[in-house]
Structure 1
Amino acid sequence: MNTYLYTVQSFSQLHRDFKDHDLFIACGREGRPKEMLTNAFSKREAPSSNSSNDSLITGQAALRKPKKIRRPNIPDYESNPSFVRSVSPVTPQPARGNSHPNIATRCRIPKPRTKAIIKAGRSVTPQFSKPEGVGKKKTQRLGKRLDHSVDVIKVDIHGRRREFYPPTLSDGNIDDGERPDKKLKLDWVYGYRGHDARNNLYVLPSNELLYYVAAVAIVYDKQRELQRHYTGHNEDISSMALHPNETYVATAQLAGETADTAAHIRVWDVRSLSTYAIIGLGVFQVGLSSLDFSAESEGEYLMAIDEGERHVMSVWNWQDEKMLAKTTLTNAPKHSLDDEEDTSIETVIWGCFHPQDDTTLVTYGEEHIHFWKIFWDSRSKTAKILRDKKSGFFKEDPPKFVTAIAFSANGDVITGDSSGRILVWSRDSADAYVINTRCSESMRRAHRKTVFALCMLEDGTLLSGAGDEIKAWDSSDKYRNIRDRTIPESAGYVRTLVPQSLLTADDTLFVGTTKNIVLEGSLQHKFRAVVQGHVEEVWTAAISPSEHAFVTAGHDMMVCKWSAVSHKMLWKVYVDSACWASAYHPEGHTVVIGTETGQVIVLNANNGSQLASFNASHEKIQTVQYSPDGAMLAIGCHDNTIYVFDVLEKRRSYRRHGQGFLRGHKNFVLNLDWSRDSGFLRSVSGDCDTLFWNVNSMQQEKPAKSLRDVDWHTHNCILGYHVIGAWSNLVEGEDLSCTARSHYRDYLAVGDTEGAVRLYKYPCAAHKPEYYEKKHYSSNVTSVGFLFDDSYVISTGGVDAGVMQFAVVEPLTPR
């Protein structure tokens, strides 16, 4: 029998000529069968849209997979004087999220995932197979309208064939694979990143606060309670710098695992949120630990330090997106004699321009402060950066870390370190920076804790922050201590210190702390929190069934209730261990928390007071769900067991229901859903097995197809017939991490392991359905949920510790 092979030239031809075919070969020209190469229908191919001409990352840089890193353990803060001047005008360009064609072409960067509408992706795990029918049973071709008479859908997920049974009864929703008629718009970001960040809090001339969380830069107007967001990044922001004219901001992101999430810098307008420059794509190895604009030249140059192995410092003309000079800050790691491990190399914490001299750079970190000189070659228009080896010597043993820096009006350099000492470095007769013993003597024991913040005011007052202390020093009187103030112990330690005005020490101060709180106060008045958030990973959010509010909990052992209207924290309580799961009672008066130790804690949803506490297991609780009638509580644990309790005495007492447990999973219980009549449970385990349970008999329900028409109250389970379409849009190595169905059953929100939140139509069983996406996290999205009226979606991030609120809005363009 002869086999004829034809080339598919277009989608219209595919639909017209090959709609009845079920076998296709996808390959490049070099991989075609010879029959196809000689076929009369073969034509010369157009160049690939992914050709090297469209990519800045080529050669080895394109092949190298960037690695993610954690930031140094010792962060710092540098506060430069503010220079209100202007820079040369440049034509503004919209932010990356708006996909401006000129800047994308000029920089040859891939189209961002944020705000993109994805219609199709490459076919990877999971693989959708053609259903296998028996006798006259009908099969389903995914991608067409939902056929409720299909018997079974078989899908390969994590290397195993999974079976899903479509319902035989329709609820009227059409599964056509089209994108939803609503999209997600970032409305609010809760929290502040202070526990491992530095120099990331600024006060703008408009009195707005500028800071970042995860991949979002936030401009917060605390007077009007409004936030604006710069969302051009698709991985965590690692550093930030404000231009001397206080109009432009530079932000840098860590490297992700793909070419379109490479480390780079973006310079943008804080008023319009438009992107002016995209710098360093394909150049930076890991991410940027430090950014700083030059002050003497009114912000013409931008300095950056890569967190890669050699800590490369580079200087850029940011308006031309051109690197002018670079140097390595540390030597290559030395190998031990047995070559089994590398000896440690010194950590570079931060670097900056000297504000009065663009040719002088300062870097500091582990046991060092280094001064560098830039030598310009006017003929070649290039530069070299060389270290000034006469400067930066400690007269005694160096501190473990130099952690903060400031500059005085006379050009002195002031540093704080991990021993609590503050030193003044002045130029000597040989033009070298040496310790000024006379000025430093009064600050040798300035603080008991690490000095993380220094700021010089225009009246000569130096502000320092360490531990819970803020101190003021008079530079005109040998740096005499003139005032002290402590911040609340519950707020953590000072990490960043920013005055609202640089004029005097009597003005308002904003303090970023190690517990991700921004405080407002002064040296005369108490401090109060204006921004609050979680400190460690956030793994769960419980949505109120009757009010615009939600509860979050995480590894910091903190449970918080938030208003989705005022965006304020309504209450906060601490529990005894890390939190992993939460759920509201259907009546809305109670919130239940599941912890790492297997403890269940029941809280009053109005004020956070504890109503009950008991141990369900000796292992971690992964998920908790009240039944729709409120009479039972199901708890999924890491001992592969589901525990069911009766809810008694107005939710203050809990007793095992029947035998009290359901066993059958071979891995920990990941998700739970109740049926609307509270008679059945659906569970998914960590190895992606789905089981069904009869709660009345406390037995597993078999076969699974017998429950295909059960009306499920929620869709928290990441597996199920109504959500399998979302899996088909994932690339290899990605998984769905959380799902939530809207209360009106027309939308599905999902989060994945790469930090994306997507909105689909519900049901979502078609192959490669269209969706709207927001990617503002760099790792696991740990939970998603709709508010009770479906007006907002709440999401939480793992290591990002970010809680984000998305409005469900009409798209700007017609469908």
Structure 2
Amino acid sequence: MKPITPDELVQLIPSILWTMSPAILTHLTVSSSDDASADGSADFADRASMMEVRLQAQEDEITLLKSSLADALRKLRLHDQLLPLLKQQLIRSNRNSSGNDKTSNLGRKTLSRRKSIKMFIRGRPITMYIPSNIQNYEDLKMEPPFERLELDWVYGYRGRDCRDNLYFLPSGEAVFFIACVVVLYHINNRTQRHYDKHTDCVRCLTLHPDKVRMASGQTAGVDKDGKPLHPCVHIWDSTTLVTLQQIGLGAFQRGVGCVAFSFDSGAFLCVIDDSNEHMLSVWDCNKGTRHAEVKNTNEAVFCVEFNSNDSTNIITCGKSHVYFWTLSAGQFTKKQGIFGKYKKPKFIQCFVFSLTGDVLTGDSEGNILTWGKSTFQIMRQTRAHEGSVFTLCSLQGGAVLSGGGKDRKIIRWSADLAPERECEIPENYGAVRTISDVDGEELLVGTTRNAILRGTFSDGFVAIVQGHMDEMWGLATHPSQNIFITCGHDRQVCLWKTEEHKLDWCITLEYGLCADFCPNGSVVSVGLSTGRWMVLDLLTREVVSESIDGNEQLSVMRYSPDGSFLAVGSHDNFIYIYNVTESGRRYTRFGKCNGHSSFITHLDWSKDGKYIMSNSGDYEILYWDVAAGCKLLRNRFESKDREWASYTCVLGFHVMGVWLEGSDGTDINALCRSHSERMVAVADDFCKVHLFQYPCPKPKAPSHKYEGHGSHVTNVCFTHSDSHLLSMGGKDTCILQWRVIRGGPGDSREKLASTSTSSPEPATS
């Protein structure tokens, strides 16, 4: 075949352009010199006004079209820059075509070598440029990393919306749950074990009469394809953590709200699901078969128990009702509690049995009502608390403990309901959600602000477990110490110690969405939902600097490697750059990176501290020369060999393989490269944490997958020594600390892969 001459190649360009979309050609004619990644040359107010009009019409499609045009223009500019090089190569090829075959073959190989590859997000092509040190991209082999993760610690407790979920075992362990994990925490040794066989959020928990076996129920959820997953109840051994029975798979709807063992021998399990009728069912624990079932009520149900003296009787309570059930020959009969002359409360929150067999209920009016065991009528009303009575706990000898909502009091009552002692828990822990007796004197108290307290009436109470109370997004680890910081929608900024497994301090600000430690380790910056950001001194907790950039939420804070700059990424599409002096205590505006078409999601600094790589909500990858005045680098090809101090951008050549084929752009919320640059951890939208080999530039790369979160995982971060990985859940308010296990000489990637992916696919809450 006759070689194409340079002149012929130039003549072909108009024909190529003619085949392009008319919309693209029109745009090129009007603005051939503009950068289509953003209206960088236009005034910000005009651009914002234009975007408002477009968003009202069809926001998502317009954004994607704009980004596609940006790619087209960048390719044209790159083509113009590469044209002289192609001419030279063609001339050299023509000169050698009739002579040196070896040189000719080398020329063809050079021309055919791939310089870029495309990945697709929501159908939109994104060009990734291959670094120069990768000669044969097609021959790269992706394997899972030698390292693997092991759950080390769980921070948090679900008390805000669950009841009766705190028990004390003879082993000295407190048992409670958060997200998909049931935690067994030894209160004296300060160690944790974990029952981790649930595939979605645990909702309820109960202890067998033998004080060893436990039952826990989970919600339903959906898988990553939107298919519903059935809720179920697990019966398991608290000593060995072995699952003994899985009850009701496919029989419950939406989730399991309440569970209770029969008091005699624990042979039966009572379950109430979250269906519209809140179905009440009784199951044979040994056989795993359903013994009886009945529709309960369309109203909310808070509690269920077998009668302590007769396992054929079951009691349920909830919104505006107390029901007394009798089970005979597989059939239920129901008697409704009669309030008579007493005011009917809106909610019956809890109940226990007295020594005489009467039923004591706590309600939303602050009263304890005594119900006759055979009359189903109120025998007595006792004023107990201001606000709701959230929990009742029976003690040996007949005494009763009650926990209040509004007044946050714990009151000890005699068997005939005479008040004996009382105390009040600190306001910052919230209301009393549940009480568990340790030894008759010492108590464990779960609160509505997701804390567990330990103490006595005489000595007061201290927190042994604490957690966030709302969705979390901000996470950062210290550059040299084993501590990390978190922030979220509960307005709390918390500093945690990874070795002691405890909260060091917590302060209240605004909605915190991002954070980063200064490289010198003395201060931390926190970005808020209002555009404000603050710098806190780690020792004094004082605000040493405060600024505001725009009026939209901040999504990322990132210091340069030497700490001389701070980059602040905002939802107003800008990256604000600050000079940092006085050891991180003084900040002055240096410049602003203007060019993204959507909100900033992630950014990283180069190792020399001169450049920034950033991602945005419309899946752009842009590069900036900070030293040159925050200049947008229009030729992305020139940044393909740049080395990055951190890698948290979810879009980039080095992390292409973490995306599944056909992924939505929101399927991955965050990722983090290890300091060793050997692995990358990924937080996805389906409750999973993944561990990949780094770099990970090829599709369908294998990974180790880990479960435990019960909602979208919002962030991940390695500790400074890569000894641990922190992962943060969104709605599950849970922080999981994973120990990084190094691969030994006898390990193989295949063995690690089979070990880490043996558990079932997790669900999305």
Bigger radius of gyration = 2
| Equivalent of residue 179 in structure 1, options 137, 144, 168 | 144
Unaligned ranges ≥5, structure 1: 1-130, 138-147, 331-344, 377-382
- Residues 212 and 175 (structure 1), Cα distance of their counterparts in 2 relative to 1, 3 Å cut: farther
- Residues 411 and 782 (structure 1), Cα distance of their counterparts in 2 relative to 1, 3 Å cut: same
Stretch moving more, 663-672 or 399-408: 663-672
1:433 aligns with 2:383: no
Q: Residues 320 and 348 of structure 2 are in contact (CA less than 8 Å); yes or no, is this contact kept in structure 1?
A: yes
1:599 aligns with 2:532: yes
Aligned to 2:172: 207
Higher helix share: 2
Deviation digits for residues 193-221 of structure 1, max 9, x if unmatched?
11111111110001111001100010011
1:790 aligns with 2:754: no
Paired amino acid for 1:233: H
| Equivalent of residue 413 in structure 1, options 359, 364, 371 | 359
Give the deviation of 1:607 after TM superposition.
4.1
- Residues 450 and 728 (structure 1), Cα distance of their counterparts in 2 relative to 1, 3 Å cut: same
| Equivalent of residue 562 in structure 1, options 467, 490, 496 | 496
Q: Residues 175 and 763 of structure 1 are in contact (CA less than 8 Å); yes or no, is this contact kept in structure 2?
A: no
Say what the alpha-carbon RMSD is for the aligned residues: 2.3
Paired amino acid for 1:387: K
Aligned to 1:384: 331
- Where do 1:150-165 residues align within 5 Å? 150-165=114-129
Corresponding residue SS for 2:460? coil
Q: 2: CA distance between counterparts of 1:170 and 1:566?
A: 43
1:253 aligns with 2:184: no
Q: 1: CA distance between counterparts of 2:176 and 2:136?
A: 46
- Residues 730 and 415 (structure 1), Cα distance of their counterparts in 2 relative to 1, 3 Å cut: farther
Aligned to 1:801: 733
Aligned to 2:27: none
Aligned to 1:522: 456
| Equivalent of residue 547 in structure 1, options 477, 481, 494 | 481
Q: Tell me the TM-score normalised to structure 1 length.
A: 0.75
Give the deviation of 1:776 after TM superposition.
1.2
Aligned to 1:269: 237
Q: Residues 415 and 423 of structure 1 are in contact (CA less than 8 Å); yes or no, is this contact kept in structure 2?
A: yes
Unaligned ranges ≥5, structure 2: 1-74, 91-111, 750-765
1:397 aligns with 2:358: no
Paired amino acid for 2:204: S
Deviation digits for residues 146-169 of structure 1, max 9, x if unmatched?
xx9631110110221111112113
Deviation digits for residues 142-190 of structure 1, max 9, x if unmatched?
xxxxxx9631110110221111112113699995211111111000001
Aligned to 1:328: 295
Q: Tell me the TM-score normalised to structure 2 length.
A: 0.80
Q: 2: CA distance between counterparts of 1:398 and 1:666?
A: 58
Aligned to 2:259: 291
| Equivalent of residue 595 in structure 2, options 664, 667, 689 | 664
Q: 2: CA distance between counterparts of 1:392 and 1:150?
A: 80
1:481 aligns with 2:419: yes
Q: 2: CA distance between counterparts of 1:373 and 1:582?
A: 56
Q: Residues 371 and 392 of structure 1 are in contact (CA less than 8 Å); yes or no, is this contact kept in structure 2?
A: no
Q: Residues 544 and 584 of structure 1 are in contact (CA less than 8 Å); yes or no, is this contact kept in structure 2?
A: yes
| Equivalent of residue 775 in structure 1, options 707, 711, 734 | 707
Deviation digits for residues 536-557 of structure 1, max 9, x if unmatched?
1111111001011111111111
Corresponding residue SS for 1:436? strand
Q: 2: CA distance between counterparts of 1:287 and 1:162?
A: 40
Q: Residues 511 and 519 of structure 1 are in contact (CA less than 8 Å); yes or no, is this contact kept in structure 2?
A: yes
1:617 aligns with 2:578: no
**Percentage of pairs with the same residue:** 36
Q: 1: CA distance between counterparts of 2:696 and 2:478?
A: 25
Aligned to 1:86: none
Q: Residues 368 and 392 of structure 1 are in contact (CA less than 8 Å); yes or no, is this contact kept in structure 2?
A: no
Aligned to 1:168: 132
| Equivalent of residue 373 in structure 1, options 295, 317, 326 | 326
Give the deviation of 1:767 after TM superposition.
2.1
Q: Residues 401 and 418 of structure 1 are in contact (CA less than 8 Å); yes or no, is this contact kept in structure 2?
A: yes
1:308 aligns with 2:272: no
Q: Residues 307 and 315 of structure 2 are in contact (CA less than 8 Å); yes or no, is this contact kept in structure 1?
A: yes
- Residues 721 and 446 (structure 1), Cα distance of their counterparts in 2 relative to 1, 3 Å cut: same
Q: Residues 121 and 664 of structure 2 are in contact (CA less than 8 Å); yes or no, is this contact kept in structure 1?
A: no
Paired amino acid for 1:512: G
Aligned to 1:715: 647
1:459 aligns with 2:412: no
Q: Residues 426 and 434 of structure 1 are in contact (CA less than 8 Å); yes or no, is this contact kept in structure 2?
A: yes
Q: 2: CA distance between counterparts of 1:172 and 1:392?
A: 80
Paired amino acid for 2:624: W
Aligned to 2:411: 471
Stretch moving more, 261-270 or 797-806: 261-270
Corresponding residue SS for 1:738? strand
The total of aligned residue pairs comes to: 636
Q: Residues 163 and 302 of structure 2 are in contact (CA less than 8 Å); yes or no, is this contact kept in structure 1?
A: no
Q: 2: CA distance between counterparts of 1:277 and 1:394?
A: 43
- Residues 811 and 375 (structure 1), Cα distance of their counterparts in 2 relative to 1, 3 Å cut: farther
Aligned to 1:4: none
| Equivalent of residue 563 in structure 2, options 602, 605, 630 | 630
